[in-house]
Amino acid sequence: MNIDRSEAAPVIGGKRPGVMLYNLHALRAVAAILVIFVHTTDVLAPVGLRDTKFYFGIAGVDLFFVISGFVMTFTQDRKPIAPREFAIHRIIRVVPLYWTMTLAVFAAAMVVPSLFASETVTVAKLLQSLFFWPYMNDVGRIQPLLFVGWTLNYEFFFYLIFTLSIALCAGRQRVAPLLCVALLAAIVALGAAVPDLPVAAQFFSNSVILEFALGIVAGRLFARDALPRGAWAWALMAIGFVVLLGAEQAGLRAPRVLVQGIAATVVVVAALGIERDGHALRGAFVQLLGAASYALYLSHPFVMKAFGIVSRKLPAGPLTWMLALLAMIASVAVAIAIHKLYEVPVTKWLRRRAG
């Protein structure tokens, strides 16, 4: 979910820009916008809309997971790196912004505790959140202080397994993604076989982690140029999006990986095939939004919360819907500002420090 522009254009032959996968970047923008849709209900609550109305947007998470699996495989195929380098790169890319946002939530809870009436904020929860350790919160959900960070727990766990795979495949680095698939499958199988696991073990063995494995499969298809092309690619893209966005509304009870996960993989593979045919979304704003998608994902809850407070103080009606639209626009604007003024400079500075 959180791959920066430089990773979508890895070094080939020691030179940049290398390969830029424009459609993949555009899909990251789509994924982030989908997740925002889910949380506009915080603004639209006065007109009676519940979370379930826009819950189809949670499919953005499935897209993020598949894209993450793909990009890790893509970069490892193009330029194999040592496990230590991989781990440092991931930490630099993910941790600074997430820690900043999590600490902002903690500070807000200390200053205005009424904003967190349903949750007791403690230092222990802060530490678990910062170090990607899942726990059950006061309302019975496995969520960190920054509630959207539950996906980061999965992301970081995937990075850990991928790093381990690289270490175990010393000298055969391109085999690492395949070993990662096997390890993820084994973890899910173990979780299904062993009853009454602790909360963290239940969380990390959820079958949703196989969406990263599906992304790895997509990476292998890309490497072998086994992508759908022409009309097939466009048809698969349409079908994939219909299933991805419609499964939740249709009430399908199958595990996400078997429905939304496969659908997200079809969308990703089709988008790559379409780009191979010469059709790429190269628009500057779309690419910028793709680059800022991590900032958008982490920062939009703050914006939605602020607009939600305003919404509850105004008469419900057309103005509420206008506020929801403004909240989405503001979320994008804030994310782009954070990306350009904080995320990019901090990431570059840390990479220089790390050599």
Judge whether residue 327 has pLDDT over 90.
yes
3-state DSSP assignment of residue 201? helix
Residues 6+ apart with CB under 8 A from 320: 43, 44, 46, 47, 311, 314
Judge whether residue 13 has pLDDT over 60.
no
CA angle 84, 85, 86 (to 5 degrees): 90
Nearest to 216 by CA among 191, 189, 239, 182: 182
Span 24-40, average pLDDT: 93
Confidence (pLDDT) at 50: 65
Distances (CA, A) of 45 to 52, 56, 262, 276, 332: 12, 17, 32, 43, 21
Give pLDDT tens digits for 140-168. Answer: 899 999 999 999 999 999 999 999 999 99
Query: Band of the pLDDT at 169, cuts 50, 70, 90?
Result: confident
Cα–Cα distance, 17 to 14 (Å, whole number): 10
Span 92-116, average pLDDT: 92
Radius of gyration of the chain from Cα atoms? 20
Structure tokens at 105: 């939530």
3-state DSSP assignment of residue 9? coil
Give helix then strand counts, H and E, for the chain: 16, 0
193-226: burial string, b at 16+ Cβ within 10 Å, e else: eeeeeeebeebbbbbbbbbbbbbbbbbbbbeeee
Give pLDDT tens digits for 251-284. Answer: 777 899 999 999 999 999 999 999 999 999 999 9
The pTM assigned to this predicted structure is 0.91
Span 164-185, average pLDDT: 89
Long-range contact list for 96-99, CB < 8 A, 24+ apart? 96/343, 96/346, 96/347, 96/350, 97/294, 97/295, 97/298, 97/338, 97/342, 97/343, 97/346, 98/146, 98/149, 98/152, 98/298, 99/130
Whole-number mean pLDDT of the chain?
89
Confidence (pLDDT) at 9: 35
Judge whether residue 47 has pLDDT over 60.
yes
> Which segment of 71-80, 99-108, 328-337 scores lowest on mean pLDDT?
71-80
- The residue with greater pLDDT, 310 or 170, is 310
- The residue with greater pLDDT, 163 or 115, is 163
Cα–Cα distance, 61 to 1 (Å, whole number): 8
Give the percent of the chain with pLDDT over 90: 72
Give pLDDT tens digits for 211-246. Answer: 999 999 999 999 999 999 999 999 999 999 999 999
Judge whether residue 34 has pLDDT over 70.
yes
Nearest to 54 by CA among 44, 46, 62: 44
Confidence (pLDDT) at 51: 59
